Amino acid sequence: MVRVTEWKISAFNILDYIFIHDLASMSTFSDLKNEFYRYVADEIDTINSQRGFTEYRAEVYKHYLLCGIELKLNQVFESRFKRIIDEVLLRVKSSGFPVSTYLQDVFNICGHSNISSLDGTVKYKLLAQFLYFDFDSASMSFFNKLLELKILSTGRLKEDKMSPKHKEEMNRVFLRVLMFCEFEILKKQIIHNYDNMFMKLDFNEIMTDSVKKIKGLLISINKEINHKEMLFNGDVRNVSALVGAFFFIEGHSRNIYNNEEQVNYRPDYNIPINSLYVCKTKAVHDLNDKERRVCTEYAQNKMKEYGFEFIQRTFYDNSVRLYSFYKFINNVFDDASKYGVWYYDFIDQLCYDDRYSENYKIRLRQAIDGLQMYKPKKE
């Protein structure tokens, strides 16, 4: 029997954690989020350009600005959680950014926007939702980087078929994902009053370290995130299959089959949310032949960008299997963002704890059981 190494288990747990965030962000995307996130992204791009920050340094500063914006929007600056701000500022300083300038940038971005019109769905897990806004599927880019480092392996990836855009952004996504995990760990540790804080990530080391050190970092992050994978069963074939299903559902949820010009591009998020209501309530297994074809073509084109090709039928089949979990995550994330508190991690709710009702636990089990129907063919 082949022994599964600790770093491989850690890689799958983190990958699962990021994929669930992608799924939650995609399932709850809205006009309001699109408008505000685009404003924030433009402001940050302008700041980075003015300061001469490029490549990884620009990504790191963007990450810290988004951390500050999430904290500011949730009024953490005026709360008892001052310790989390202090820890973020320590990381800003150790990365070589002037703290006073950083704070001014955060306040300027938040001050220029109409914060009073923003609801919890926009502010909750803003850092995670920005990964989806910036990269569409951070989990797929993270997965490809793990393959490049040979931490995971698959015969399905065709590197020569990968789009130049994806090749260029893969390292940036890897960096942003690890720094996102650091921020989530920081919140968990402060809420639970840990004495010893998680290590400070050095972005230069992340991008230049040996594979051995990266493996060690994945193990450390996994221990602190404390999430056990729910979706992939330690099988790389499940990763690409379910991300393909993710893109099929994304095309469906954005009503893409009523605007086929979008098939080769990211869906148009400017469609008013009211026109998406029927689409959001219509299950993927109720799509007609034309709708299936357009969503399949969209998902197929997206996966080709990442260097993966599948027969068309698999996209629809896997979307049916993922759909129950997608809807379950949609409900959990939406409730957490509207009625929860800013530091609450909705993923912690994906368990069978006694504090949850039997009905909740049954629905969670049904959603997960639907995924187990997927039995990938041997490569």
* Distance from C-alpha of 110 to C-alpha of 74, rounded to nearest angstrom: 11
* Distance from C-alpha of 19 to C-alpha of 350, rounded to nearest angstrom: 14
Tokens for 235, please give them: 């099988």
> In 3-state terms, what secondary structure has residue 369?
helix
What's the confidence (pLDDT) of residue 4? 64
What's the confidence (pLDDT) of residue 233? 87
Within 10 A of 254 (CB to CB), how many other CB atoms are there?
23
- Are 162 and 52 in contact, with CB atoms under 8 Å apart? no
What's the confidence (pLDDT) of residue 268? 43
Within 10 A of 125 (CB to CB), how many other CB atoms are there?
27
Half-sphere exposure of residue 317: CA atoms within 13 angstroms, side-chain side: 12
pLDDT in tens, the chain (379 residues): 345 689 999 999 999 999 999 999 998 888 788 889 999 999 999 999 999 999 889 999 999 999 999 998 887 766 667 888 888 999 999 999 999 999 999 999 988 766 767 888 899 999 999 999 999 899 999 999 999 989 998 876 676 677 788 888 899 999 999 999 999 998 888 877 776 666 677 776 777 768 888 898 899 999 988 899 999 988 888 999 999 999 988 888 776 555 544 433 344 444 443 333 344 456 777 777 888 888 888 888 888 888 888 777 888 888 888 988 999 999 999 999 888 778 888 998 888 777 788 888 888 888 888 887 545 454 4
What's the confidence (pLDDT) of residue 263? 38
What's the confidence (pLDDT) of residue 121? 87
What's the confidence (pLDDT) of residue 31? 79
Q: What is the DSSP letter of 152?
A: S
Task: Write the CB contacts of 213 (distance below 8 Å, at least 6 apart in sequence).
Answer: 205
Write the DSSP assignment of 51-120 as a string of letters: HT--HHHHHHHHHHHHHHHHHHHTTGGGSS-HHHHHHHHHHHHHTT--HHHHHHHHHHHHHTS-GGG--H
Residues in the chain: 379
Write the DSSP assignment of 220-265 as a string of letters: HHHHHH-----SSTT-HHHHHHHHHHHHHHHHHHTTGGG-GGGTTS
